[in-house]
Copies of this chain bind each other. A is one copy, B any other.
Amino acid sequence: MKNKPTMKEVAKAAGVSWPTVSYVFNNSRRVSDKTREHVLNTALELGYTPDIMARGLATSRSYTIGILFNEFNFSTSIPIIAAIEEAARSYNYRLVLALQGREPKEAMLDLQDLTARRMDGIIFVSSTDNLDPAIVEALGAARIPILLAYTSPPNLAMVDSVLPDHVQGGLIATRHLLSQGRRRLAFIGSDENNNATRKRVAGFLRAHEEMQVEYDPAMIVYGEYTAPSGREAARNLIASHRPDAIFAADDNIAVGALQACQAAGMKVPEDIAIVGFDNSALCDIILPTITSVAMPFDKIGRLCLERMIYRLQQPDDWKPEQTILPCSVVSRETS
């Protein structure tokens, strides 16, 4: 394995001074066209490409954003990271991935490690709207721009955040069902301490108020984000309250609910409609296909990255900001 050529070697080969090569590659000062072309050509021949880390040492810019995330979560963190990556690519930035350790202490170390690697900034991508306090504390100590994706900090003063509007998501899902003439809606969430569930149920309630439809508090039940949990909750609801529609706080719950309806001999959507949340791949695979609320992961990711870049470019023009982006209903066969 040959070594990578350095700037010096290129300069020598091209017969120019050493910094000239730097100037050519950075367009950082006028260089005669002839020299520029000559340098570029020799660089190409030698297979030279500037060492980004050495440049980073000199400029204290690494063109790398650290992504700290707490879970390989296919329905939230991965789609957001994918969107960040795509945006980063177009700005010629790279991502360093760091999975957050389970222990609070580890989280601190992860952050330290990231800053020790000269990240220009760090985006923390949470898979849940419930932020771990240890992380908040650790983030506060970082000396570089920090941004939160999918969740917001308890104290808005420190960092930017970009997240989906769970309340509005719950609102439009419920409106969707009510506007189809459904009147006995059930809500199945995860546990009551889950912020996303809380916001989604808030939207559920608001839609009822808005359209002046009464709801039955007994039809709002909690469990966890899994199909079996949704199955059981739906089975009980069907037996006791005969809902004509179910709004599930999550697609896994929705699948479970669908299965329970079918097992109870109910036709979907004729006898009962179902709407999920996440708009995951599941929704198209299961039959009947499942109507679901889509969160704007692409926009969240892109906005996170763009805001980060802006902050890096205009370090002075900054005050913490929280952006909440709307969801949309994707209609399929269960409603």
Give the top 8 A-B pairs by smallest Cβ distance, nearest first: A72-B82, A53-B118, A227-B285, A52-B116, A97-B97, A52-B117, A49-B116, A1-B143
Number of A residues contacting the other chain (C-beta, 8 Å)? 51
Residues of A95-136 at the interface with B, using a CB-CB cut-off of 8 Å, are: 95-99, 101, 112-113, 115-118
Most chain B CB atoms below 10 A, which of A95, A113, A116: A116
Neighbouring B residues of A101 by C-beta, 8 Å: 89
Determine whether the beta carbon of A64 is less than 8 Å from that of B252: no
In the bound complex, what is the Cα–Cα distance between A281 and B97 (angstroms)? 24
User: A31 an interface residue at 8 Å Cβ cutoff?
Assistant: no
Which of A54-62, A164-172, A214-222 lies at the interface?
A: A54-62
- How many angstroms from the CA of A227 to the CA of B113 in the assembled complex? 43
Cβ of B96 and Cβ of A96 under 8 Å apart? Answer: yes
The closest CB in chain B to the CB of A82 belongs to: B72
A287 interface residue per 8 A CB criterion: yes
11 contacts across the A-B interface (CB closer than 8 A): A4-B115, A49-B112, A52-B113, A52-B117, A52-B118, A53-B57, A57-B57, A72-B82, A82-B99, A96-B96, A96-B97
A binding-site residues for B, Cβ under 8 Å: 1-4, 47, 49-54, 56-57, 62, 64, 67, 72, 74, 78-79, 81-82, 85-86, 89, 94-99, 101, 112-113, 115-118, 141, 143-144, 227, 252, 255, 259, 281-282, 284-287
CA distance A2 to B95 in the complex (A): 24
Q: Are B94 and A96 in contact (CB under 8 A)?
A: yes
User: Which residue of B89, B96, B286 is within 8 Å of A99 (Cβ)?
Assistant: B89
Interfacial chain B residues near A252, Cβ < 8 Å: 285
Residues of B close to A227: CB separation below 8 A: 284-285
Contacts of A2 in B (CB 8 A): 143
Give Cα distance in the complex from A281 to B251, angstroms. 13
Given A1-B143, A57-B57, A95-B98, 10 extra CB contacts under 8 A = A50-B116, A51-B118, A67-B97, A72-B81, A74-B281, A89-B101, A94-B117, A95-B96, A97-B97, A286-B286
Q: Are A94 and B98 in contact (CB-based, < 8 A)? A: yes
Q: For residue A117, which residues in chain B have a CB less than 8 angstroms away from its CB? A: 52-53, 64, 94
- Tell me how far the C-beta of A222 lies from the nearest C-beta in chain B, rounded to whole angstroms: 20
Complex interface: chain B residues within 8 A of A287 (CB): 259
Cross-chain contact of A51 among B79, B95, B116 (Cβ < 8 A): B116
B49, A115: Cβ atoms closer than 8 Å: yes
Q: Which residues of B contact A3 (CB under 8 A)?
A: 143
Task: Determine how close the nearest CB of chain B comes to the CB of A151; give it in whole angstroms.
Answer: 21
Q: Are B1 and A255 in contact (CB under 8 A)?
A: no
Contacts of A89 in B (CB 8 A): 99, 101
Knowing A99-B86, A144-B1 touch, does A94 contact B78 (C-beta < 8 A)? no
Residues of B within 8 A of A86 (CB): 99
Contact between B97 and A95, CB atoms less than 8 A apart: yes
Task: Let me know if A113 and B99 touch, CB within 8 A.
Answer: no
Please, which residue of chain B has its CB at the minimum distance from the CB of A144? B1
